[in-house]
């Protein structure tokens, strides 16, 4: 039975988790890809030797940090499998990672997570803005420290999403769904763009909560393999396959990745309930998704 670390994933706990993994498994490569608006580290961890890789991204939204926990626990288990020379779905990962790699970016929005967990004081010079739009309810905080929703800031149908934001009364920085003044204005989204230029990702999965849903489509650019992969993930996890509606169409990492690279990109909405999901839901989420995640690293 897997042991879970059921702490929240604020900066301190996240950093401790990463340090523990680095000490235990020296073959993993840890890098600080970039800095957030408040100069917090945007870390990533890589296993494997090549640029032929897959990318998993967690915590794009502040209140969805359970995805950080999911990805770090998954990384830990992959490391254990490698160390023990065990095979998984018939594959020897040690040999597999000679010609492939995985990059896990556990927390794309460290400022938003900190605000959600530790309150508006964590927003430092943006405290006033955050207080104004949080209505004393930190559970609603999705955006980065200056009120931009990172999953509306990618350059895919950005104008359309921007228009929809305005139609629903969102004209500036706030807790959720404001996509910024233009695409790629935020250091966090720019960091992902840079990472995708540096590596040759076969596919990208962005983890959000909640809904137990898998999104795989973005317009005509979506490759045929996307649907097949989504179906396999859905069968293995018992999650459902969905198509986004309204403002959820465009502006996101998966949308941008599909359109720009013509390769599969996914959003997986983990768990069920109200954000932030309760950390004791993690073991169930982990169990549901483990096989899909394993499949995702070898596809």
Q: Which is nearer to Zn ion, 102 or 253 (CB)?
A: 253
- Residue 223, Cβ density class (10 Å: 0-12 exposed, 13-18 middle, ≥19 buried): middle
Complex with Zn ion: residue 14 or 208, whichever CB lies closer = 208
Could you tell me the strand order of the sheet in which 240-242 lies?
Answer: 29-35, 41-48, 101-105, 52-57, 200-209, 265-270, 213-215, 240-242
DSSP 45-112: EEEESSSEEEEEE--SSGGGTHHHHHHHHHHHHHHHHHHTT-EETTEEHHHHTTS-EEEEE--S-HHH
CB of 161 to Zn ion, least distance (A): 14
Q: Is 35 exposed, middle or buried (0-12, 13-18, 19+ CB in 10 A)?
A: middle
SS3 label, residue 213: strand
Q: How far is the CB of 206 from Zn ion (least distance, A)?
A: 8
Nearest residue by C-beta to Zn ion?
Answer: 208
Scanning the chain, the segments in alpha helix (DSSP H) are: 11-24, 66-83, 93-96, 110-118, 127-134, 158-167, 187-198, 224-237, 253-261, 282-298
Distance in Å, CB of 61 to Zn ion, minimum: 4
Smallest distance from Zn ion to CB 93, Å:
29
Q: Minimum Å distance from CB 151 to Zn ion? A: 6
Q: Which is nearer to Zn ion, 96 or 154 (CB)?
A: 154
Count of C-beta atoms within a 10 Å radius of residue 3? 8
- Give me 154's structure tokens: 């990618």
To Zn ion, the closest distance from the beta carbon of 259 in angstroms equals: 19
Residue 187 Cα distances to 33, 158, 167, 177, 273, angstroms: 11, 17, 26, 17, 30
Q: Which is nearer to Zn ion, 61 or 162 (CB)?
A: 61
Query: CA 17 to CA 51: how far, in whole Å?
Result: 25
Q: Which residues bind Zn ion (CB under 5 A)?
A: 61, 64, 208
Shortest separation between residue 252's beta carbon and Zn ion, angstroms = 9
Q: In angstroms, rounded to a whole number, what is the distance separating the alpha carbons of residues 248 and 256? A: 13
Nearer to Zn ion, 78 or 145 (CB): 145
Residue 205 structure tokens:
């999965």
28 vs 130 by CB, closer to Zn ion: 130
Identity of the residue, 64 or 255, whose beta carbon is nearer to Zn ion in the bound complex: 64
Residue 211 CB, shortest distance to Zn ion, in Å, is 10
Q: Which is nearer to Zn ion, 100 or 142 (CB)?
A: 142
């Amino acid at each position: 039975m897997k042991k879970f670390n059921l702490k929240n994933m604020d900066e301190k706990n996240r950093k401790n988790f990463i340090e523990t993994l680095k000490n235990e498994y020296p073959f993993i490569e840890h890098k600080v890809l970039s800095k957030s608006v408040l100069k917090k580290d945007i870390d990533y961890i890589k296993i494997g030797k090549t640029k032929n890789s897959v990318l998993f991204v967690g915590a794009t939204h502040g209140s969805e940090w359970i995805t950080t926990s999911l990805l770090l626990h998954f990384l830990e288990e992959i490391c254990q499998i490698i160390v023990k020379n065990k095979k998984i779905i018939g594959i020897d990962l040690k040999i597999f990672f000679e010609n492939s790699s995985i990059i896990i970016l556990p927390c794309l929005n460290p400022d938003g997570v900190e605000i959600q967990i530790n309150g508006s004081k964590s927003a430092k010079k943006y405290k006033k803005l955050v207080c104004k739009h949080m209505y004393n309810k930190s559970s609603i905080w999705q955006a980065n420290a200056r009120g931009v929703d990172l999953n509306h800031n990618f350059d895919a149908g950005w104008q359309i999403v921007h228009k929809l934001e305005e139609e629903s009364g969102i004209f500036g920085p706030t807790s959720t769904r404001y996509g910024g003044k233009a695409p790629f204005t935020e250091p966090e989204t720019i960091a992902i763009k840079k990472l995708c230029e540096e590596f040759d990702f076969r596919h990208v999965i962005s983890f959000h909560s909640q809904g137990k849903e898998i999104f795989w489509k973005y317009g005509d650019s979506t490759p045929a393999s996307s649907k097949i992969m989504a179906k396999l993930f859905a069968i293995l996890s018992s999650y459902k396959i969905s198509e986004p509606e309204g403002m959820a169409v465009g502006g996101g990492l998966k949308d941008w990745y599909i359109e720009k690279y013509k390769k599969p990109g996914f959003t997986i909405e983990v768990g069920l309930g109200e954000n932030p999901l309760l950390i004791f839901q993690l073991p169930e989420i982990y169990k549901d998704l483990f096989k899909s995640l394993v499949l995702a690293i070898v596809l």
